[in-house]
Structure 1
Amino acid sequence: MSSDMQVFLLPDLGEGLTEAELVNWLVAVGDEIKVDQPIAEVETAKSMVEVPSPYAGTVAELHGQAGETLDVGKPLISIARVGAAPVAPEAPAAVEDAVTTGVPASPEVSAAAETYRTEEKAGSGNVLIGYGTPGGATTGRTRPRKSSVAVVDSVVQEAPAAPLEPGLAGTRIPGKLSAVISPLVRKMARDHGVSLDTIEGSGASGLIMRKDVEAAISTPDAPAAPPAPALERVAPAAEGEMDSRTGLAVSARTPVRGVRKAVSANMTKSRSEIPEATVWVDVDATALVEMRAELKRRSPHDTPGLMAFIARFVTAGLKKYSALNTRFETVADGSQEIVGFDGINLGFAAQTDRGLVVPSVRNAHQLSARELDAEIRRLTAVARDGKATPAELGSGTFTLNNYGVFGVDGSAAIINYPEVAMLGVGRIIDKPWVVDGELAVRKVTELTLAFDHRVCDGETAAGFLRYVADCMENPGGALADM
C-alpha cells in the first residue's frame, strides 16, 4: 500500500457491533473530501448512521456496494492524501450497475453528466447534511464494481464501457436506463414521498434533475411512494419453488438483517439465558386520567402524556426496588455478579418501519413528567427516522413497554437483554369496578412485570408493581412525595 494512500476501516459504531449494512455512498471515486465529511450511510443493528471520514484527500476506492454487509475492522474506503499523484485507472471495464446501462457511454450521456455537474455545483444554497455538492474532481474510477442487488432489477450481459464521469454516482431506475440521479436528488425525492419511477427527466438522455423532483413535489397530484421499510426488502422466490414440508408454493424469501436480525438475536439470548417470571395487576387509572384531563384543560399545549406520568412513577419505584435496575453478568473467571447502577436510563419500546427498537431516556430519574414527555417524543421521532444514535438505543437499564397502543390488555413480554425487567402497560378501557362497596364504571388498565428471577424474588417484583399501581391510582399524592 502506497504511503500516499490512507485506508479507513469500518469502525465499531457502538456496543460492540460486528457488522453494518452499507445503505448508500455519499461520495464517489475522484471526489475531494474533508476531515469529518460524511462518506456513507450504514445501517447497524440499532440505527441508521452517517460515517464521517477521518482523512482528507481524494477518494481512490470504495470497498463495498449498497446492500452489502460489511464487517467491522474491514476496509471501507481508500483515500489518497492531499497532493498525492492521481491513481492511474485500470483498463476500461463495466461501471457499477448503479449507474451504468451496460453499453458504452454515448455523447448524450456525456452531455447529461456535464448538465448534472453544472446543476449540482450551482446548488440550492442549502446543502443537505451528508449530501454536499460535488467538487468536480476529474480522477476516474479505479476498479470495476459488482452488481448491486438493491438497484438492479435484471441481469444484464456486461460489456466494456467507458467509466462514467465523476459526480454521476447515483442510482439506476428500473426501466429507465439513462435516468441517473444524485444522492441529493434521491434524498429530496425520498423525503417528500415522490416516486422516481414516475418522473420524466428533463436532462440529456432522460437524466432526472433537481428541478424535475421539485416540480413533482409542487404538483398537487404528484404520485407519492413512501420509502419501503427496511424490513420489507423481500426477494422473490425462485419460479416454481415448492416447500417440501407444506407442499405449498414459496411466494417470497425475506433476508433477516438489520434491526430484525438484532431483535431476533436479542430475544433468543434473553429466552435462553434469563429465567424470567411474570406478575401482573389490574389498576384503576381513573384518577390519573382525570388529573391529566384537568391539566390539559388548564394548559392545552404542554400537558405531559399519560406515559410520561407512568414513567415518572416507574423511576421512583426503581429507586425503592433497585434490584430491578441492574444487570446480571458472568465475568471472565466464570463467577457471576449483579451490577447495580447509580442512576436510571429508562428505555421504552418504539415500533418503527425498521422494526421494534428501544431508545432510552438518559438519567430519567432526574427528570420531571414534563421533561420525560419531551424526551420520549424526541427519541420516538429520531428512532422512527432511523437516526437514533447507538448510545440512545443501547444504554437502557429498564424498559417500559406501552403495548396498549396496539389495542391489547396484556403480554408475556420478553425482557430486553441484558436488562433484568420490563414493565408493560395495556390499554386503558372502561370496566366495572367496585368503589366503596358500589359497582362503578372506571378506567382500568393492566400492568405486567417480567423479571429475571436470578436478581430478585417475587416479593421484590410484586412490591415494585404494587408501588407503580398505587401511584397511578393516587397520582396527586404520589407526585407530591416525589
Structure 2
Amino acid sequence: MTAKIFTLPDLGEGLTEAELVRWLVSVGDTVRVDQPIAEVETAKSVVEVPSPFAGVVETLHGEEGEALAVGAPLIEVVEESPDRAADSGADTASNGAARSGGSGNVLVGYGTTESDFTGRRRRSRAAATATVIATVAATSTSVVPVISPVVRTLARTHGIDLSTLTPSGTGGVITRKDVEAAFATAVPQSMPGAEPESAPAGSADPRTGLVVAASTPFSLFRRTVAANMTRSRSEIPEATVWVDVDATDLWDARKRIRLGDRERHPSLLAFVARFTLAALTRFPALAGRVSADGAGLDTFEGVNLGFAVDSPRGLVVPVIRRADRMTIRELDAELDRLTRLAREGSLSPGELSGSTFTINNYGSLGVDGSAAIINHPEVAILGVGRMIERPWVVDGVVVPRRIAQLSLVFDHRVTDGGVAAGMLRDVADAVESPLTLLADAPPA
C-alpha cells in the first residue's frame, strides 16, 4: 500500500490559486482514477478536479471555502495493491489510467501529470516559482515573491507596499489574503474621514448605526472581478460615444429568418455581433489589446469576441474564438451554447479568456443604456440597449419605430473620438439597413 499526495493542479490561464467549493469524497472513501474528488472555483470558473490515483482517501487537505495555492496538497490516497488494481483495471484500462503514475487526463488540457512523451515529471507552477524565488532571493533582498498579477494589481490599487508584507503562501509567496489583511489595517481610524471597520452580523455597524443582518465575504470570483474592474477604471482614460438607431428593418428581417429547426429565429445579438465584426475590419485598433508593458497596442489577425452574460455567479464574459470567420447562423449557435454553459456554471477557463473585443447586451436586462467598463486589457466595448417602439420622425412624419441606443466606450490612449465614432457609425448603419450586409460572407 503506497500513499500518494495529489497537489492542486495547474489550472491554466495564469491562475495561481483556487477556492475549494466542496469536497465530493470523504476520508475512507474508495476512489477510482479520474473520479471527481472536489469542486474548485478559480477566478474564471468552477471546475471539478478528478483524482489521478485509485485507492482509499486517507487525508483531505483544506476546508471548504479555503483558498489553495496551485501546487499545495489537495488529497492523499493510499493506492490499492497491484492485485486489487488489476481487478479494477477494467474500469480504467480504456483510457490508459491504470498505471501507477496516475491518470493521463487528470484535468483535460491542464497537464497535471507525468508526460508520456518525455518521461519527466512536470513540477507544479507553485513549486517552480518557489525555486526561482529562493534562487533570486539568495542574491537580492529586494525581490517581492508574488506570482499572481491580480495580487500585484490589488496591492497597487490600494497603495500597499508588497515588500512590507509577511508572505503566507507556499514557498514564501505573497497571497491575496496577505494584501487584503494589510489593506484592512492600513487606514488609521483617527484619520479625518476614515470609515470605522464594519461589525460582524448581529451587531450594530458603527458606520451606519444599523444592525448588520449578514456579513458575507466576497468569493474568489467576485474579488477577481472587483480587482479587474478597479484596474480598468484606474488605468484607462475612457471616453464614450453613443447613438440612437432605428432598428425596425432589422427587427422585421430577423423574423423572416428561421434556423434549421424551423422554430427559432437568430438572436438580435447575433446580427449585432456580425455587424460589429464587419466594422472592426475597418477599425482593427479597437479590437486590440494594450501590450503587457503598457507602452503600446497589440493588434491581431482576427477577433475573439467576448459577450457579457448575467449568470448565477455574476457577470461573466464567454469568448467566441475567431468570431470574425463566422456567419450569423454560426455566431447565433455559439452565443446560445456559451450562454447556456455560463448559466449552468460549466464554462472552462479557456472559454472565459482571450477576448479582444466585448459586446455588452444590457438591453436583455430591460434597460436602454449603461456606463460600461472596458474589459481590461481590451481597448473598447460596445453596449446595446433594448429595442423598443418609440415615436420617430420619418420623412417629416412621426411614426412608431423600433429604436435602440448603441454606445462605444474606448481607451483614449489608443485612439481618438473620430475613429470610435466611425466604427460606431458603421455598426449603426448596418443595424438601420441590414440587407446591405446580411448577404455578405464573413471576412476571410
Secondary structure of the residue that 2:336 maps to in structure 1? helix
User: Does structure 2 retain, via aligned residues, the 8 Å contact 1:4–1:84?
Assistant: no
2: CA distance between counterparts of 1:302 and 1:48? 30
1: CA distance between counterparts of 2:397 and 2:259? 29
For residue 4 of structure 2, what is the aligned residue in structure 1?
Answer: 6
1: CA distance between counterparts of 2:53 and 2:322? 35
Residue 393 (str. 1) matches residue 355 (str. 2): no
Residue 414 (str. 1) matches residue 373 (str. 2): yes
- Listed as ranges, the matches of 1:170-189 within 5 Å are none
TM-score by length of 2: 0.69
- Listed as ranges, the matches of 1:40-59 within 5 Å are 40-59=38-57
1: CA distance between counterparts of 2:369 and 2:253? 24
- Listed as ranges, the matches of 1:31-430 within 5 Å are 31-83=29-81, 238=200, 241-296=203-258, 300-331=262-293, 336-430=295-389
What whole-Å deviation, never above 9, does each CA across 1:21-61 have from its counterpart, x for those lacking one? 21222223333433333221112222111112233343221
Q: 28-37 vs 254-263, which deviates more?
A: 28-37
Letter in 2 for 1:380: T
Q: Mark the CA change 1:297 to 1:263 in structure 2 (over 3 Å): closer, same or farther.
A: closer
- Give the percent of matched residue pairs that are identical in Structure 1 and Structure 2: 58
Larger radius of gyration: 1
2: CA distance between counterparts of 1:449 and 1:341? 20
Offset, 1:240: 5.0
Offset, 1:323: 0.4
User: Does structure 2 retain, via aligned residues, the 8 Å contact 1:39–1:51?
Assistant: yes
Secondary structure of the residue that 2:71 maps to in structure 1? coil
2: CA distance between counterparts of 1:378 and 1:367? 15
Offset, 1:325: 0.9
For residue 145 of structure 2, what is the aligned residue in structure 1?
Answer: none
Secondary structure of the residue that 2:256 maps to in structure 1? helix
Aligned length: 328
What whole-Å deviation, never above 9, does each CA across 1:183-237 have from its counterpart, x for those lacking one? xxxxxxxxxxxxxxxxxxxxxxxxxxxxxxxxxxxxxxxxxxxxxxxxxxxxxx7
1: CA distance between counterparts of 2:256 and 2:288? 36
Q: Mark the CA change 1:290 to 1:39 in structure 2 (over 3 Å): closer, same or farther.
A: same
2: CA distance between counterparts of 1:239 and 1:481? 59
User: Does structure 2 retain, via aligned residues, the 8 Å contact 1:47–1:383?
Assistant: no
What whole-Å deviation, never above 9, does each CA across 1:222-281 have from its counterpart, x for those lacking one? xxxxxxxxxxxxxxx746511222222222112111332221111011111111111101
User: Does structure 1 retain, via aligned residues, the 8 Å contact 2:201–2:211?
Assistant: no
- Listed as ranges, the matches of 1:432-471 within 5 Å are 432-471=391-430
2: CA distance between counterparts of 1:294 and 1:385? 31
2: CA distance between counterparts of 1:37 and 1:252? 36
Q: Mark the CA change 1:297 to 1:317 in structure 2 (over 3 Å): closer, same or farther.
A: closer
For residue 29 of structure 1, what is the aligned residue in structure 2?
Answer: 27
Secondary structure of the residue that 2:281 maps to in structure 1? helix
Q: Mark the CA change 1:276 to 1:322 in structure 2 (over 3 Å): closer, same or farther.
A: same
Q: Mark the CA change 1:264 to 1:238 in structure 2 (over 3 Å): closer, same or farther.
A: closer
2: CA distance between counterparts of 1:84 and 1:248? 63
Secondary structure of the residue that 1:76 maps to in structure 2? strand
2: CA distance between counterparts of 1:14 and 1:78? 23
User: Does structure 1 retain, via aligned residues, the 8 Å contact 2:200–2:215?
Assistant: no
Letter in 2 for 1:255: P
TM-score by length of 1: 0.64
What whole-Å deviation, never above 9, does each CA across 1:119-150 have from its counterpart, x for those lacking one? xxxxxxxxxxxxxxxxxxxxxxxxxxxxxxxx
Q: Mark the CA change 1:387 to 1:297 in structure 2 (over 3 Å): closer, same or farther.
A: closer
1: CA distance between counterparts of 2:48 and 2:426? 43
Q: Mark the CA change 1:308 to 1:444 in structure 2 (over 3 Å): closer, same or farther.
A: same
1: CA distance between counterparts of 2:73 and 2:205? 39
Letter in 2 for 1:315: L
Q: 316-325 vs 23-32, which deviates more?
A: 23-32
2: CA distance between counterparts of 1:13 and 1:273? 28
Offset, 1:300: 4.3
What whole-Å deviation, never above 9, does each CA across 1:404-450 have from its counterpart, x for those lacking one? 12221111111111211110000111122222333322110000111
1: CA distance between counterparts of 2:255 and 2:371? 31
Offset, 1:376: 0.8
Secondary structure of the residue that 1:268 maps to in structure 2? helix
2: CA distance between counterparts of 1:53 and 1:69? 19
